[in-house]
Amino acid sequence: MNLLSEVESKSFRTFIFFTFVVLIILGFIVSILSSKYRVSIINYDSELNLNYEGLEGIENLSIWLVSDNNFEKFYIDNQNVENLEISKQLPNIIDIDINLYQKIILYTDFRDSSPEQRVLYKNLYTDDAISEKHIAHLVITNGPIDDGFFNEIVSFILTIEKYEVDLSEVSMTFDGSVIVINYFDTIIDAGKAVDLSRKGSVVGYILEKAECKGRVTILDSTDADIETLFNCKI
């Protein structure tokens, strides 16, 4: 008799659990289909000079189904966007924080017949420059440039920004052979546009110390240490 009661009790608990799960699933399905939980308000920063058409695809979509996968078109249209932070306010509001890739440098390529200023992003995407007074400047006067040139430039800037250096005062010139860096009263010949991450550590240190008003030459080397020649004014 006790065994039968135990079996009945277990069966009842199983039934209750199964019923509870079914009710949750049904409730979720109903909420997905409900017009109450359809996206009708999308909040985002509209002052970023982006193509926002890709955000319209979630309008009238169930708020429960909205995820980063819904914004593939937006990412394609705006290659300077690194990611979107999506938050939901039930029942019908989506808040989107748009995070852009870091702007690395403003550059002008005088090899072009009609040179224009462009901005290089951390992911190597380039775009027309609007107002970029807070980043370093690069002028390309001659070529050719290697395929990995802009990768090297990104590595260089990311390295020197770790130091107390005003990037807006950093100007660089590439003549197709070597890079020259100007920062207030300091001129640095950085040599070829290779190994710029390691060279950036040397440049960042020199510029942060601000002890050399003159010319510094960095010698290209495959050794662990980078040799520099100083010609500083006292």
Please give the full DSSP string across 126-182, using - where no structure is assigned: EEE-S---SSEEEEE-S----TTHHHHHHHHHHHHTTSS--GGGEEEEE-SS-EEEE
Q: For position 25, what pLDDT does the model report? A: 55
Q: In this predicted model, what pLDDT tens digit does every residue of 178-234 receive, in sequence order?
A: 999 999 999 999 999 999 999 999 999 999 999 899 999 998 766 667 889 999 975
Q: For position 112, what pLDDT does the model report? A: 86
Highest-confidence range of 1-15, 120-134, 168-182, by mean pLDDT?
168-182
Q: In this predicted model, what pLDDT tens digit does every residue of 49-79 receive, in sequence order?
A: 999 999 988 999 989 889 999 999 999 999 9
Number of CB atoms found within 10 A of residue 101's CB: 16
Which among 217, 114, 184, 107 is positioned nearest to 152, based on CA atoms? 107
pTM score, whole prediction? 0.82
